Amino acid sequence: MKITRIFAHRVELPLREGNYKWSGGKSVTVFDSTIVGVETDTGVVGYGEVCPLGPFYLPAYAEGVRAGLRELGPHLLGFDPRELAKLNHRMDAALKGHPYVKSGIDIACWDILGQATGLPVCVLMGGRFGEQVRLYRAISQESPEAMAKKVAGYRAEGYTRFQLKVGGDPDTDIERIHAVRAMLLPGDRLVADANTGWTQHEAMRVVRAVRNVDVYIEQPCLTYEECLAVRRHTDHPFVLDENVDGLDMLLRAKADLAMDVVNLKISKLGGLTKIKQARDLCVSMGIAMTLEDSWGGDITTAAIAHLAHSTPEEFRFTSTDFNSYVTVSTAEGAPQRHNGFMRASDSSGLGIKPKMDVLGKPVVVVA
């Protein structure tokens, strides 16, 4: 089997809530997503998706995905998409860095491997653990009262895991954490995710002020060293995210006892092959994970479902269903949330079929 054509569609994904706000006044109203197709000489076509959280979150941006595909694509024509380690080796040799550019191609090749073998991606990634995957809801940054109201609403829809977007004014963030925790019941989990937004002294004030609140603290500061300093001064369960972009940082953070949970995102690591390596290492090291991506629609949500479902349940902290945050559906067969859970498809590959009328004409074609 050989890759004969790589193409990409640009899709706008407006947010159901109108916008999404997080640390430092960052905000998005319409996500710019790239759906990547990999076509083979057998007629099998696989799909992946890459959707950065704007250009100001991780070192990734939507137009960069498309530019990167034009650069990298010609190096992959003629390669067997089922040979995923070899394909990733080729991608890393042809283009240094830019993991998010490679992510969509890698996901599409897992979809092809699944279709070619008749197996769901979660089975190929290690097996299906449990019946379903528990979801969290990210709560956009608003006033403490508005965020508490949102949490109550999403709780009524079945979610029991909530990730509050903090990382703003520390005094307001302290109120946000108290107001939301007051809405929750025993068994619910609350994460205060500052997305690098606090300076070290601000983070120290916040963790002190919420000392008696049952809350996880996620990526309080910009640098790893600042996060480590905060971590060493609090007994809240601690999550690292933005700083952990590969195995080097994962091993360093484990050695420093710098986290209790790590947030792994598919495009931050560079695709399902690379995140599987990190995921399996975390399982071996006993570290629980939030398994997700930066953002996306139906295809990203399908990829997250297969990744999470193939992870032992005790190491799955949370995942999320991005396709329920946006108003546009780009594929049939994507996981749908039921009472705060989703499950990976039983069909072969990712189990999705893109809606070509929604995708329109490709904006990148490499053949």
**Which sequence positions are flagged as catalytic?**
165, 265
SS3 7: strand
Distance of closest approach, residue 242 Cβ to Mg ion, in angstroms: 7
Q: Which residue is listed with tokens 């195995």?
A: 247
The contact set with Mg ion (CB under 5 A) reads: 193, 218, 241, 263
* Residue (22 or 341) nearer to Mg ion, CB: 22
Q: What is the Cα–Cα distance from 22 to 57, expressed in whole angstroms?
A: 10
* Residue (173 or 241) nearer to Mg ion, CB: 241
Backbone angle region of 294, left / alpha / beta, with phi > 0 → left and psi within -120 to 50 → alpha: alpha
* E runs forming strands in the chain: 3-14, 20-22, 26-28, 30-40, 45-50, 133-134, 136-139, 161-165, 189-193, 216-218, 238-240, 261-265, 288-292, 316-318, 331-332, 341-342, 353-354, 364-366
Q: What is the Cα–Cα distance from 93 to 165, expressed in whole angstroms?
A: 37
* Residue (263 or 300) nearer to Mg ion, CB: 263
Q: Is 186 exposed, middle or buried (0-12, 13-18, 19+ CB in 10 A)?
A: exposed
Distance of closest approach, residue 22 Cβ to Mg ion, in angstroms: 9
Q: What is the Cα–Cα distance from 264 to 253, expressed in whole angstroms?
A: 13
Distance of closest approach, residue 191 Cβ to Mg ion, in angstroms: 8
Measured in whole angstroms, the distance separating CA 335 from the mean position of its chain's CA atoms is: 15
Distance of closest approach, residue 289 Cβ to Mg ion, in angstroms: 12
* Residue (25 or 78) nearer to Mg ion, CB: 25
* Residue (202 or 241) nearer to Mg ion, CB: 241
Distance of closest approach, residue 164 Cβ to Mg ion, in angstroms: 11
